[in-house]
Amino acid sequence: MTDASAAGTGGEPLRVARLRPGALVAGLVAVLGAMVIGMALGPVDISPKLIVYELLDDLPLIELDSGLSAQRVAIIEQIRLPRVVLGFLVGATLSVSGAAYQGAFRNPLADPYLLGIAAGAGLGATVAITQDWGDGGGFTDPVPLAAFGGALLAVVLSYTAGHVGGRSTASLVLAGVAVASFLTAAQTYVLQANSDAFREVYAWILGRIATSGWSEVVLMVPYFLLAAGIVFRYRRALDVLAVGDEEAQALGLEPRKIRVIVVLAASLGAAAAVSVSGLIGFVGIIVPHAVRLAFGASHRVLIPLSILFGGAFMVLADLAARTIVEPAELPIGVVTAFLGAPFFVLVLRTSRRSVW
């Protein structure tokens, strides 16, 4: 006897949209698989099995001898592990932010850069590079700090301007477009006046997952936890917002308040991701849409799986970026779009779901 029939309906119990164990396992396998492969390949190839042994050995209560030399252990633990972890954090944050923006704005084209984050970060980084604010490295490196400040400035400007034009999501999106254009123009002007910095700025804009030890990871973790945690907590509310503001309010929610909280959390995460890795496009759009098409549109499924698959995708994209033209590196923004677009078209063609 099921609960539903016990209650006298006589029918099947209701199948509710929720994260199924199979999908969760698939996501976790993707993350761990991508990380191990990401650590195994590089100028020095190391057996994935030995990497797993070595990492398990670091856990308490587990004693395993991988037999790797001290030098290779250092490559794994000091160079490759922080890099794949940062790749995961950046990818997970950008895709969960994208999913949150799409849900909050009910717009499939929304991405984390919708409110001018990319342009603001670009301006901040350009100013820091051209004004030669020095290279503090780690926590005091002025470029990521300026990028972060520029990104947040853009979001605040968009929200302020969007509020003036009314309270609809459309006016906020349009304000984002205006703010992005304005900040891009300012960035272009600064760059033209300092054309010797062109290469450096261009390289920053194209994005990269570069680590010096664990400092970028330490920088990124709190923002990832904050953004992913808040968006995850609001996953059911985002499902309700799908019926539009008026009906969501008739169902007892406060749509504007929820949108502000979700969008600000997602923006903070995206700003932090941009400041450590530059402007990596496409991830915030492609990963959430691929997840929707493969697993369903409910945010209860979409949010956790965007975190996992976004992270895995970025680790693999970074692997491609640093191995395809070894020993040089491709800009990761190029790789995400170059590999991501065909993959996405494939998902789009094979999926039978209608998600928008």
Q: Where does this chain bind another protein (CB under 8 A)?
A: 3-4, 7-17, 233-234, 236-237, 239-240, 242-244, 246-247, 249-254, 258, 292, 296-298, 353-356
Residues 25, 33: Cα–Cα separation, whole Å:
12
When the beta carbons of 132 and 254 are compared against another protein, the nearer one is 254
Smallest distance from another protein to CB 265, Å? 14
Residues 112, 92: Cα–Cα separation, whole Å:
12
Smallest distance from another protein to CB 194, Å? 47
Q: Closest by alpha carbon to 96, among 301, 245, 257, 242?
A: 301
Sequence-distant (≥ 6) Cβ neighbours of residue 247 within 8 angstroms: none
Residue 321 phi, psi dihedral angles, 5° rounding? -60, -35
Smallest distance from another protein to CB 122, Å? 33
Smallest distance from another protein to CB 300, Å? 9
> Can you read off the two tokens belonging to residue 176?
């984002």
When the beta carbons of 29 and 109 are compared against another protein, the nearer one is 109
> Can you read off the two tokens belonging to residue 216?
């970028």
Alpha helices for 1-42 (secondary structure H): 3-6, 21-40
Q: How far is CA 251 from the centre of its chain?
A: 31
When the beta carbons of 109 and 185 are compared against another protein, the nearer one is 109
Angle at 33 between CA 27 and CA 34, to 5 degrees: 90
Residues 54, 269: Cα–Cα separation, whole Å:
31
Smallest distance from another protein to CB 115, Å? 23
When the beta carbons of 174 and 243 are compared against another protein, the nearer one is 243
When the beta carbons of 10 and 22 are compared against another protein, the nearer one is 10
Say which amino acid occupies 193.
A
Smallest distance from another protein to CB 251, Å? 4
> Can you read off the two tokens belonging to residue 179?
């703010």
When the beta carbons of 210 and 242 are compared against another protein, the nearer one is 242
